[in-house]
Chains A and B, each alone.
Chain A
Amino acid sequence: MPEVLLDVQDLETQFRTSDGIVYAVNGVSFHLQEGETLGIVGESGCGKSVTMLSLLRLIPSPPGKIANGKALFLGQDLLTISDEAVRQIRGGQISMIFQDPMTSFNPVLTIGRQVSEPLEIHLGMSHKEALNRVVELLDLVGIPNAQDRINDYPHQFSGGMRQRVMIAMALSCNPQILIADEPTTALDVTIQAQIVELVKRLRDEVGMSVIWITHDLGIIAGLADRVAVMYGGYIIEEAPVKELYSHPQHPYTIGLLGSLPRLDRKQHHRLTSIDGLPPVLYEKPHYCPFAPRCKFAVEKCRKENPSLEKYDTSHYLACWVDTETGSER
């Protein structure tokens, strides 16, 4: 039985705004095993990024507030340990890569300086040792002439190359967990394929666990072992990747898969769109957050919020309705 690296329980994060409190994450629980890749899928505003930022304590407070929950990393709760202890883990044992490689680098510092920083802080290397290691790392992620390029600034790299540099930086301290927050969304499809292959290769070589956040069900299909689907600040379905794509149970997951055209399909069928709009989370939903858009919704869906329950071996579901029969479970 592989070890559970990360165990998140009942995480709730809220933001105070001038229009009232936004309930961004409303009780999310998941775990990550050693060597496993977990995909987290959802549309903008569903709380997927906020979940990850919360457990790394990167939510600015105020206005953000982690209202409830635990995030156990190897037994210690990331949400209650001291700032100093979190700083040791962040960038060291758990590192993160972000969506926009342009804005996540400091534009006035050289790449060498920025990538070497975690090495000096977490591993106590001297600047010279660290720079040598940076050249190795840049080589590893496929940056040509790494020796010369450590003196370049971020704007001198293309988008794909910048994302490679970010990956090099994230991997510099041999993390046990890599959190990737939509790292390919800003990139072209051929560059996206390069980055996905790179992360897959490094994952298998280094043996780290990966959490990959995305809105693209296509990328996750070839990458993840297990997938969690988020909606309205909740995980509404979670299953091993093949199970989720072949037997989706939640109406939202079904709708999402139906609204994607497939490159390998010839027939010209109409896309099954999901009507309506994602919820605005100014109040904590006391009924199923998807009910207003759901074509299967029954009376109960508008009264009670289903919790994530076991549906089948390692398949979890938060829904009152059996989508095959259309009746209540």
Chain B
Amino acid sequence: MTNDNVLLRVEDLVKHFPINQGIIIQRQVGAVHAVDGISFDIHRSETLGLVGESGCGKSTTGRTILQLYRPTSGHVYFDEIDLVNLKGNDLRKMRRRMQMIFQDPYASLNPRMTVGEIIGEPLVVHTISHGKAIERRVAELLELVGLNPAFANRYPHEFSGGQRQRIGVARALALQPDLIVCDEPISALDVSIQAQVVNLLEDLQKQFGLTYLFIAHDLSMVRHISNRVAVMYLGIIVELAEQNELYDNPYHPYTQALLSAVPIPDPSVEDRRRRIILEGDVPSPVNPPSGCRFRTRCKFAKEICSVEKPEWREIQPDHFVACHFAGELG
């Protein structure tokens, strides 16, 4: 099953975080099932949106793909090379091709380093260039993300949230990666600044043919930027489809509820909309429900839902869903 167009293939990825108890002798008493068996692929130069509510495992997915967390089981194929089995130098070489932009632009930049050092550090770590060459490259990168190259000698605290996020983008671009994992890159920013950063990301994608995994909880923004969208709930992907298809024909009851909960900035549309209000909260990932994860909040749940895990199936061409009754619900 090889496809030249696929940059990243994730197979049955699992990440459990152990829960330990005891003071001297630590015993594992349980595990947080943060990511519990997910599979998808990302094509070259596309943006895959990964949406879900807090605690559903979307950030863990991003970090596990980059091997910042080592997966409990499963495979991550980057250009047909399985990252899970790589170590040391081999892994570092691969990391050059995949970078990350973090959510919090205040926490993800070292306050004691100048902007130039921050952006230049990947070049030093990967011994790509030295001295003046780094300075030139940093200036080039700053210009690329819409900042004044003279800012290289300043410190992060001198910048606003949106500008810091641009610095984060410049750092991610320094090694000319193929894949960038954007972990909620705009959630901490003001509305008018969000649009600036999203437009920048789109421009850079066009210019360099970048591939994005765009993790976010803002469904409107994900629809705007993504080619395909995957919806996560409690450690698994419940639905995945091309963006217009997913938003027009959601099959999974969770996707339907999630979409209906997003407010639309237009009072005349809001007047006519019917909300699906979900009862209760997301269950604990330490003890996820048996069978279908969503059954405890699903109004369509039947007996089979608590017994059998719904199969991941292709209900329409390129539209995948994990629900026993997908297509039969009103």
Contact = CB atoms under 8 A, between A and B. Distances in A.
Contacts of A220: 265
Given A218-B263, A222-B263, A261-B221, 14 more contacts: A188-B282, A189-B258, A219-B263, A221-B265, A245-B265, A245-B267, A260-B220, A261-B223, A263-B223, A264-B264, A271-B198, A273-B196, A277-B162, A278-B190
B265 A273 contact: no
A242 B259 contact: no
A160 B277 contact: no
Contacts of B223: 261, 263
Nearest to A158: B281
Interface stretch (B11-19, B57-65, B110-118, B268-276): B268-276
Contacts of B282: 188
Interface of B: 53-54, 160, 162-163, 190-196, 198-199, 202, 217, 219-221, 223-225, 244, 247, 257-271, 273, 275, 277-278, 281-282
A278 B208 CA distance: 31
Interface string A242-274: 100110000000011111111110101011111
A86 B301 CA distance: 51
A131 B240 CA distance: 48
A275 B166 CA distance: 14
Contacts of B261: 189-190, 192-193
Most buried by B among A188, A219, A246, A256: A188
Given A218-B263, A219-B263, A270-B199, A259 B270 contact: no
A218 B192 contact: no
Contacts of A196: 263
A113 B215 CA distance: 40
A266 B260 CA distance: 16
Given A221-B263, A242-B268, A259 B195 contact: yes
A161 B269 CA distance: 29
A208 to B, nearest CB: 21
A317 interface: no
B281 A218 contact: no
Most buried by A among B198, B258, B260, B263: B263
Contacts of B220: 218, 260-263
A221 B272 CA distance: 12
Interface string A78-106: 00000000000000000000000000000
A146 to B, nearest CB: 15
B191 A256 contact: yes
Contacts of B198: 261, 271, 273
29 contacts: A44-B190, A189-B53, A189-B219, A190-B277, A191-B53, A193-B261, A193-B277, A216-B263, A221-B264, A221-B265, A221-B267, A245-B265, A245-B266, A255-B192, A259-B194, A261-B224, A262-B265, A263-B220, A263-B262, A264-B264, A266-B244, A270-B202, A271-B198, A272-B195, A273-B198, A273-B199, A274-B195, A274-B196, A278-B190
B174 to A, nearest CB: 24
A257 B265 CA distance: 8
A194 interface: yes
Interface residues of A, number: 46
A197 B195 contact: no
Contacts of A261: 198, 220-221, 223-225
Contacts of A264: 264, 269
A273 B271 contact: no
A217 interface: yes
A43 B189 CA distance: 9
Contact of A263 (B193, B264, B268, B278): B264
Nearest to B56: A188
A245 B202 CA distance: 27
A314 to B, nearest CB: 15
B226 to A, nearest CB: 10
A217 B262 CA distance: 12
Contact of A161 (B192, B275, B281): B281
Interface string A200-243: 00000000000000011111111000000000000000000110
A52 B163 CA distance: 30
A219 B247 CA distance: 19
Contact of B54 (A188, A246, A272): A188
Nearest to A193: B261
B286 to A, nearest CB: 14
A193 B220 CA distance: 15
A218 B199 contact: no
Given A189-B261, A261-B220, A274 B192 contact: yes
B252 to A, nearest CB: 13
B262 A189 contact: yes
A218 B191 contact: no
A313 B23 CA distance: 70
Contacts of A242: 267-268
B248 to A, nearest CB: 8
Contacts of B225: 261
A65 B308 CA distance: 63
Contacts of A274: 192, 195-196
A74 B315 CA distance: 60
B268 to A, nearest CB: 6
A160 B281 contact: yes
